[in-house]
Amino acid sequence: MSPDPVVSAVVVTHRSAGTVGRCLEAADAALAGLGALGELLVVLDAPSAEVRAQVAASPARVFETPHNVGFAAAAMVGVEAARGEWVLLLNDDVLLEPEAVARMLKTGSSARDIGAVAPQIRFERARNLINSAGLAVDALGVASERLVGAAVTTADEPQDVFGASGAAALYRVQMLRDVGGFDERFFAYYEDADLAWRARMRGWRCVYEPTAIVYHVHSATLGHESPRKHYLVGRNRVRTLAKNATGAHLLRFGPAIVAYELAYVAFVAFASQTLAPLRGRLRGLAEWRTFRRVGAAGRRAVDLDERGGIRHALARRRAYRAK
């Protein structure tokens, strides 16, 4: 009888036929270094026929949702089916370097309170630039990719970070069970920040491992500045604050949060000719009391990044455009 796997890699795919085949090949090669201690799973979220054909050539266990349930719910299908102690969650537009899984696993196994490991994610189309070095969440509740747009360096050391980007992250299954996994109501975007916030409130750590290298096409499914993404990010940002921010924090930073949101909505309306960020935020506000109740039991203060605001938002926008 073969041993149970230690790492279950879960790839969630929708209609990214141009990337999923390469993603699965790279994931399979990276898991090969673990031998029988790794398994590959694919969750098909309302896929196209072309995506099905590409996945059929993979050795992965395959699951399919009955309709488009979104990234968060599809990821949980994979988590529930996983047999490993760790789940390596991957977007279908990422490519793992061969040693990435083993290096993340080594870091995650170094302490029992490590609930997640964030790799160094680089832009696939600009491999000298960092896409993510883990997640940061600032005092305004804005989640962002650490070091986005920074030049790749070999001088980085492992360090504790707020959370891991859902594009590629290694999660301890015990942690996922402890905090309730991803909130499936988020559909897509900010589900990783919400999970990270809840994990920190429960005492779990996330460690950034810079020697674990992943390449990311970035927003291959919905597009970086699409109205749909703007809407979901806006709605889920408000939901994340409602669930996780303490009353004291909202009293202290509430005026700054409102000012930031108004400025952001106005900027996108001018620059991208869309009110999708406003519609998303209004939907989130309409649900505020519901999500406030959802997070009430576990809510407590955690350290948030004091940096943030409009200046950092503009810097992130320049980095994504430059890649």
Asked whether residue 260 falls in the same domain as residue 148, the answer is no
| Mean pLDDT within 239-266 | 96
Q: Which of 176, 193, 216 is the last residue of a domain?
A: 216
Q: What is the C-alpha separation between 81 and 8, in angstroms, rounded?
A: 9
Output the pLDDT for position 146: 94
Q: Are residues 48 and 23 in the same domain?
A: yes
CATH of the domain at 95: 3.90.550.60
Confidence label for 58 from pLDDT (cuts 50, 70 and 90): confident
Number of domains in the chain: 2
Which of these three, 216, 250, 285, is where a domain ends?
216
pLDDT at residue 318 greater than cutoff 80: no
Q: Is 221 contained in some domain?
A: no
Residue 288 falls inside a structural domain: yes
Q: Are residues 307 and 243 in the same domain?
A: yes
Between residues 9 and 314, which one has the greater pLDDT? 9
Same domain, 161 and 277: no
Residues 249 and 205 in one domain: no
Q: Are residues 209 and 234 in the same domain?
A: no
Domain check: are 186 and 251 in the same one?
no
Q: Establish if 299 belongs to a structural domain.
A: yes
Is residue 300 in a domain? yes
Same domain, 187 and 286: no
Predicted TM-score (pTM) of this structure:
0.94
Answer whether residue 2 is part of any domain.
no
User: Which residue(s) pair with 116 in the sheet?
Assistant: 171, 206
Do both 211 and 232 map to the same domain?
no
Average of per-residue pLDDT across 12-23: 85
List, for residues 93-130, the tens digit of each pLDDT value: 999 999 999 999 999 999 999 999 999 999 999 999 99
Contact 89, 78 (CB under 8 A): yes
Examine the domain organization and report whether 172 and 272 are in the same domain: no
**Residue 1: inside a domain, yes or no?**
no
Q: Are residues 19 and 107 in the same domain?
A: yes
d(CA 258, CA 300): 22
Cβ atoms within 10 A of the Cβ of 11, count? 26
**Would you say residue 222 lies in a domain?**
no
pLDDT exceeds cutoff 60 at 131: yes
* Alpha-carbon distance values, 61 to 9, 12, 276, 323 (Å): 10, 12, 37, 34
Residues 13 and 153 in one domain: yes
Domain holding 165, by residue range, is: 7-216
